[in-house]
Amino acid sequence: MNSQDLQSNATLKDVAAAAGVSLATVDRVINGRPGVSDKTTRKVNDAIERLNFHPLAAAAELARSRPCRFAVLLPRGDNRFMADIADNIRAQAAWFRARRIAVEIIETNVFDADTLAAELAALTGRFEGAAVVALDHPRIRAAIDDLVESGMAVVTLVSDVPSSRRAHYVGIDNIAAGRTAGSLIGRFLGGRSGRVGVVTGSAALRDHAERLFGFGQVIAEEHPGLSLLPPVEGRDDPQQNRALVARLLADAPDLVALYNTGEGAAGIGAALADAGAARRILCVGHELTPDSRRLLLDGTFAALVVQDPGHEARSMARVLRALVSGRPILPAQEQIRVEVILRDNLP
Amino acid sequence: MNSQDLQSNATLKDVAAAAGVSLATVDRVINGRPGVSDKTTRKVNDAIERLNFHPLAAAAELARSRPCRFAVLLPRGDNRFMADIADNIRAQAAWFRARRIAVEIIETNVFDADTLAAELAALTGRFEGAAVVALDHPRIRAAIDDLVESGMAVVTLVSDVPSSRRAHYVGIDNIAAGRTAGSLIGRFLGGRSGRVGVVTGSAALRDHAERLFGFGQVIAEEHPGLSLLPPVEGRDDPQQNRALVARLLADAPDLVALYNTGEGAAGIGAALADAGAARRILCVGHELTPDSRRLLLDGTFAALVVQDPGHEARSMARVLRALVSGRPILPAQEQIRVEVILRDNLP
DNA sequence: CTGTTAGCGCGTTCAA
DNA sequence: TTGAACGCGCTAACAG
């Protein structure tokens, strides 16, 4: 099963010699540039095959080597998960610099379509690529399409705009994430019945909406003993979440579980602690932050459904780079997984 | 928060000019080579700082560009997970070739210490790096140490030999994996009590042993209503597992759950189906294979605790490459996570 | 349609 | 202790 006994290390020059043509011609064939006769093309391809030629990545990069600029649009505010993404992008600074990639992180009000659309429009011409955490809104879709039209490589990050012409989505399947949360709650409850409270950030964000959808699906299909209370919106803000959960606890005595589709876990933990209901109400939320980690460790949360911000930052970088240099991406490596974190497999 | 406004793109030549020295001298300073006076070193470092110089990765690679050879020692046999690792390594063939890395996959009897030790010894001088799925055994430890002594970069894969001098372990924390499985079973059972059967591959493999340990810990500490039956060893073989589980079902009427520390899920599924106990006994196992996927989808298994063979293959490649070229590795990117797969977040 | 040639930025002899 | 010069393998501009 020896993989590569036939490691060849032939160079472009070898191919040129073998085919009886010049370097430039071989280059044209390899990179699919026009202006080569069929006969010559065949000769070259033949030589490539025979010598088992494969271009050396470093040499090609060096020779191409155009500096390039990426913009990353992140929501402004104290969202911890977004801060993690930003940190992970910054942690790659050395990687970027070593490849002459300049990345600019732009924080903006992602919730306001006009602001975001304007911010997107302002990118034109200044960057070769952009990643954006975007609201799924017609105006945003149009702004993304305009950028793509202008030749920019655009990817969505964390929350997708599937109807746009973005080249790629770097993030998880949020319906699956919601379903996973639903299954965890359903199964951890072990057949008990009762009401389940749902705290969400904002129904305007596609990722939250999709999670809610997936969650509802599973509860309805597979756990008929459970019924969902109407979702309450806390904007991912701990203070608001605290108040909302306090009310939930007061209003619904048969509350058995809580699902938080977004952030602000600290508020939920506080409300539960206030009511002395901390490990009695089963809680599942999303994303790993210092707060959610603490609440997972102390048992307030039973599980967290997460995505890896480090993976997302790296994937974004690789994908944008591949896109601007016209190379293929490896789908397997770029698929961001829906992960389940219990106290025991906390990274 | 603009990240890199000060993208400099200074080259070695610029630094040399700014410092008033030659290219070679700058190179000596940067790569810590001897033979530079303190004063010159200071001048150069000063210029580097001032110009915000960062070497271009592609150029450095091209100039170094020595072909190199890696060996990967995998267990022979029909272990599906190992086959996945091998497939993922082969899937990276293009990546390897573009970097003049030849990788040879060697299948051998990992369970026999003498065979494995001999196979390891035979690597000497033929490879710059090696990854090995190793038995944790004194002879193997010695063989690994000899390779390291001879200057080879050695990493363990999937199952570690922590007492050896291997430079790195590419794999998960198996105690955490076992604990995770234990928590899932305990919580999914929702307080029910009874006996839990354990099917393991071989107690000689460190990864299986560690999982068993972590699993036992959690059950004992957190689920006192549950008691573990003595583990039965099926060598990851479906046929053996089937017979073992059939006996377990017959002997222990109060069996409420099954934990499989390794492979051969199909055998467990078959035995349960035979006994008509398929979704009554809660099952948790490891690794995602066509069999385990099917059993997860049909509800026979409630959850799978897995590691990503694709990530492991890529991590192995990056780590070995970094080691042989004396570069640092990014720990965050190389940490393999213990993942939980339910039916809903199946990749 | 094809070939020549000059770099890309860094490593690495060698000689001084 | 330092520097000059060549080469790594590929791309791209220009010439024919």
What is the C-alpha to C-alpha distance for residues A144 and B117, in angstroms, rounded to an integer? 58
- Give the minimum alpha-carbon distance from A88 to chain B in angstroms, rounded to a whole number: 10
**Whether residues B167 and B313 fall in one domain:** yes
**Is the CB of residue A145 inside 7 Å of nucleic acid strand D?**
no
Could you read off the pLDDT of B282-325 as tens digits, one per residue?
A: 999 999 999 999 999 999 999 999 999 999 999 999 999 999 98
Distance B9 CA to D11 C1' (A): 20
Alpha helices in chain A (DSSP H): 12-19, 23-30, 38-51, 57-64, 80-91, 93-97, 113-121, 138-149, 174-189, 206-222, 238-251, 265-274, 290-297, 309-324, 331-334
| Chain A from 89 to 128: CB within 8 A of any B CB | 89-91, 93-94, 96-100, 102-107
**Whether residues B192 and B131 fall in one domain:** no
Tell me what the mean pLDDT of segment B321-343 comes to. Answer: 93
**Whether residues B128 and B178 fall in one domain:** no
B44 in a structural domain: no
Is the CB of residue B6 less than 8 Å away from at least one CB of chain A? no
Nearest CA in chain B to A60: B58
Is the CB of residue A49 less than 8 Å away from at least one CB of chain B? no
Q: Which of B104, B337, B344 sits opposite A4 (nearest CB)?
A: B104
- Give the minimum alpha-carbon distance from B52 to chain A in angstroms, rounded to a whole number: 10
B131 confidence band (pLDDT: 50, 70, 90): very high
Could you read off the pLDDT of A119-159 as tens digits, one per residue?
A: 999 999 999 999 999 889 999 999 999 999 999 999 999 99
B188 in a structural domain: yes
Could you read off the pLDDT of A303-313 as tens digits, one per residue?
A: 999 999 999 99
Could you read off the pLDDT of B33-77 as tens digits, one per residue?
A: 888 889 999 999 999 999 999 999 999 999 998 889 999 999 998
Q: Which residues of B touch A104 (CB under 8 A)?
A: 2-5
**Whether residues B196 and B123 fall in one domain:** no
What is the C-alpha to C-alpha distance for residues A116 and A135, in angstroms, rounded to an integer? 8
Dihedrals phi, psi of B27, to nearest 5 degrees: -60, -40
Q: Which of B3, B9, B342 sits opposite A104 (nearest CB)?
A: B3
Q: Which residues of A touch B107 (CB under 8 A)?
A: 1
**Whether residues A151 and A258 fall in one domain:** no
Domain that holds residue B136: 60-171+309-335
**Whether residues A155 and A266 fall in one domain:** no
Distance A52 CA to D6 C1' (A): 28
Number of separate domains in chain B: 2
| Nearest protein residue to nucleotide C2, judged by CA and C1' positions | A25
**Whether residues A202 and A276 fall in one domain:** yes
Contact (CB, 8 A) for A113 and A135: yes
Q: What pTM value is reported for the model?
A: 0.94
Average pLDDT, whole number, for chain B? 93
A300 in a structural domain: yes
What is the C-alpha to C-alpha distance for residues B111 and B208, in angstroms, rounded to an integer? 13
Distance B58 CA to C5 C1' (A): 22
**Whether residues B232 and B128 fall in one domain:** no
Taking chain A (347 residues) in consecutive chunks of 10 residues, what is each chunk's mean pLDDT? 60 93 93 89 93 94 91 92 96 93 94 93 96 93 97 96 97 98 97 95 88 98 96 93 96 96 95 94 97 98 98 97 90 94 98
Q: Which of B305, B308, B344 sits opposite A218 (nearest CB)?
A: B344
Distance A66 CA to C7 C1' (A): 14
| pLDDT reported for residue A6 | 54
Q: How many CB atoms lie within 10 A of CB A73?
A: 22
Instruction: List the CATH number of the domain containing A240.
Output: 3.40.50.2300
In chain B, the N- to C-terminal Cα span, in Å, equals 35
A51 in a structural domain: no
**Whether residues B152 and B271 fall in one domain:** no
pLDDT at B2 over 70: no
Could you read off the pLDDT of A211-256 as tens digits, one per residue?
A: 999 999 999 999 999 999 999 999 889 999 999 999 999 999 999 9
